[in-house]
Chain A
Amino acid sequence: MVTGKPRRAGAGARGQGEAAAPGGKARRVTVTSPRTAAARRPRHPLTREIDEQTRLGEVYMGSLVRTQFRLALFVCTVMACVVGGLPLLFLLAPELREAQVFGLPLPWVVLAGLIYPALVVGAWLYVRQAERNERDFAELMERR
């Protein structure tokens, strides 16, 4: 029973080639029974999977990039709704253009005041979450 063979072929077929390159370091080929948990647990840190660009490494990298991209996309979407929504709001509800807050025109209060702290708060929340995502990823990689 050679469980190593298909994985190796998989790694080579993607064309990145470094892991399966001829003359490179020989890859792990498990010939023991895969039924025991001990046999299946990798004996090296997961970062090696990334270095060698195995399918597992690709899955981990893909998940990190996807998590960060979703977060970025979420922030951008919220911002686009607020920023893109304001002119639309002024277009569809003309009475808002002339509304007054504390004796100042409402569009001015929003565009020359309130929007700046909102941007800073959004950025702060993003930085916190992005750093948390990276910490989680680093812990996952170094667990064993």
Chain B
Amino acid sequence: MSQIAAVVLVMLATVLVGAFGIRMSRTTSDFYVASRTVSPLWNASAIGGEYLSAASFLGIAGLILTFGADMLWLPVGWTGGYLVLLVLVSAPLRRSGAYTLPDFAEARLESMAVRRLSSVLVVLIGWLYLMPQFQSAGLVFRTITGAPPWAGSLLVAAVVATNVLSGGMRSITFVQAFQYWLKLTALAVPLAFMLVAWWSDGTPGLAPGDEWALPLHGREHPVYETYSLIIATFLGTMGLPHVLVRFYTNPDGRAARRTTLIVLTLLGAFYVMPAVYGYLGHVYGMPESDTVVLALPGHLVGGPVGDFLTALVTAGAFAAFLSTSSGLTVSVAGVIAQDILRGGVRAFRVATVLAVLVPLALAGAARSLPVATVVGLAFAVAASSFCPLLVLGIWWRRLTTAGAMAGLLAGGGLACVAVVVTITGGPHTGWAGSLLAQPAAWTVPVSFTVMVVVSLLTPSRVPRGVARTMVRLHTPETLNVDRGDWRPRFM
């Protein structure tokens, strides 16, 4: 019962904090970027809140419990991705003035075709990321109430849509920052109690010769899969649509770097914990599933304190569903409204409904995989499409429109095919299974190679304003130089 109360409380708090932002969002640009008045710590908390999805909160511990030490790379990659993002992308991206990935593509390559292709990829990645969040919400809702899975999915989707429709980006920033600290607390407090319980049990450890704790173990091609996972997570972070939007709310490139540094710290603090949950889960012989995080505190602590801790951790899980889904919905809806519909606040509302309904339908129809696995696939698609576009776009003058198109189509296309085959037809076995389940190790090199080779073959199609764009991307804001007059269109 206390769990249901916790869920209701989180939902209410989310809607109320969101409503607080309504007063502030009046114009279209408010809806989109919170008028750029957000401080670095707020911004970093918001990025953290938005980023830590059900996959981080529940999924990692579940996968670690199931597969053992190799899955420790998942949180490492999801944190390390921000270091790659920091050094290669953060400041230039902020300086580009782009608000979405399609905006960046348009600003850098001066091509509407690349913009449209990027929009399609953003929507696909967003939906692929949203689908397991809704599935996971259904699973958790079923374990606490016994209701059918679709009920939980629908509930979360409805709250997200309401929140996005009413408050816009400004309220989302507040909600997200609040959600990060809620999630951190919801995982840390039960963990402290559990460690005390573990201590008083005489610190039980692993049985001698337990292979579960050893790296490179338990799967068919562990070395390939480990490296592919590392590539997908480290390079995929920069290509996630809901992460990029947050960089626009920094006042300048320098603030963007500092924000990223704080994000890295906040995420590092969080990601130490799922591994401990997985470890304790194994030591105490919990059943292998995504819900281990919810079951463990009650199992170890028990009594009314255990009930309270279970409620707290459930609240954290719902915070995770709501925050990531809200951020993704804003991003996907923004792209749909701007590039597919005609633009304006009305189009944004229609787009929001679309952005939520499609993954909700997919969540009901698709095979149920562990949430962190599907989110990992979204990272693989982002790493194979937007990572090369951003890295080459920012640092390589000779990138051409044709090269960018070809690379996005080849890398993004192949990764999408691998994802669809894995989700609909799997599980596949042997090398084919590994290559499809962890595609990044081959799709990322393909994408980079195609982009570079096609660019070199079409030197006449280097964008005309590339020199000015480079000035814009790389010179510090303190200098008074001509940065060109491109602005993102706020419809």
Contact = CB atoms under 8 A, between A and B. Distances in A.
Decide whether A and B assemble into one complex: yes
Interface of A: 15-16, 47, 50-51, 53, 58, 61, 64-65, 68-69, 71-72, 75-76, 79, 83-84, 87, 90-91, 97-98, 103, 105, 107-108, 111-113, 115-117, 119-120, 122-124, 126-127, 130-131, 134-135, 137-138, 141-142
Q: Which 8 A-B pairs have the closest CB atoms?
A: A116-B268, A112-B275, A111-B72, A72-B87, A134-B476, A51-B482, A97-B214, A90-B215
A122 B234 CA distance: 15
Given A87-B227, A108-B275, A98 B214 contact: yes
Nearest to A15: B464
Assign chain B's interface to a size class: 35 or more
Interface in B276-294: 276, 279
Given A47-B479, A65-B395, A108 B474 contact: no
Interface string B452-487: 000000000000100110110011101111100000
Contact of A50 (B215, B254, B464, B471): B471
B15 interface: no
Contacts of B479: 47, 137-138, 141-142
B230 interface: yes
A125 to B, nearest CB: 10
Contact of B268 (A51, A71, A120, A127): A120
Nearest to A80: B234
A51 B484 CA distance: 10
A28 B356 CA distance: 59
B276 A53 contact: no
A102 B3 CA distance: 36
B264 A123 contact: yes
A69 to B, nearest CB: 5
15 contacts: A16-B464, A47-B481, A65-B474, A69-B395, A76-B87, A97-B215, A107-B69, A107-B72, A108-B279, A111-B69, A112-B272, A112-B275, A119-B79, A119-B80, A119-B264
A19 to B, nearest CB: 11
B271 interface: yes
The B interface, classified by DSSP as helix, strand, loop or mixed, is helix
Given A108-B72, A111-B72, A113-B272, A58 B467 contact: yes
A112 B276 contact: yes
Nearest to A66: B395
A91 B216 contact: yes
A111 B73 contact: yes
Contact of B260 (A69, A117, A123): A123
Interface in B202-257: 203, 205-206, 213-216, 223, 226-227, 230, 234, 254, 257
B101 to A, nearest CB: 20
B79 A116 contact: yes
Contact of B214 (A53, A87, A107, A141): A107
Interface string B126-149: 000000000000000000000000
A126 B276 CA distance: 30
Contacts of A97: 214-216
A65 B279 contact: no
A69 B397 CA distance: 13
Nearest to A16: B467
B86 A83 contact: no
Given A53-B468, A107-B213, A123-B264, 5 more contacts: A61-B474, A65-B470, A90-B215, A122-B83, A138-B479
A123 B467 contact: no
B235 to A, nearest CB: 10
B91 interface: yes
A102 to B, nearest CB: 11
B281 to A, nearest CB: 14
B481 A119 contact: no
B76 interface: yes
B261 interface: yes
Interface of B: 69, 72-73, 75-76, 79-80, 82-84, 86-88, 91, 203, 205-206, 213-216, 223, 226-227, 230, 234, 254, 257-258, 260-261, 264-265, 268-269, 271-272, 275-276, 279, 395, 464, 467-468, 470-471, 474-476, 478-482
A117 B481 contact: no
Nearest to B210: A105
Contacts of A137: 475-476, 479
Given A97-B215, A105-B213, A83 B475 contact: no
Nearest to B206: A105
B69 A108 contact: yes
A109 to B, nearest CB: 10
A76 B69 CA distance: 24
B263 to A, nearest CB: 9
A126 B76 contact: no
Contacts of B84: 76, 79
A120 B215 contact: no
B482 A126 contact: no
B216 A87 contact: yes
Contacts of B478: 138
Nearest to A115: B76
B69 A105 contact: yes
B261 A111 contact: no
A116 B272 contact: yes
Contacts of B80: 79, 83, 115, 119
Nearest to A98: B214
Contacts of B271: 116
Nearest to B274: A112
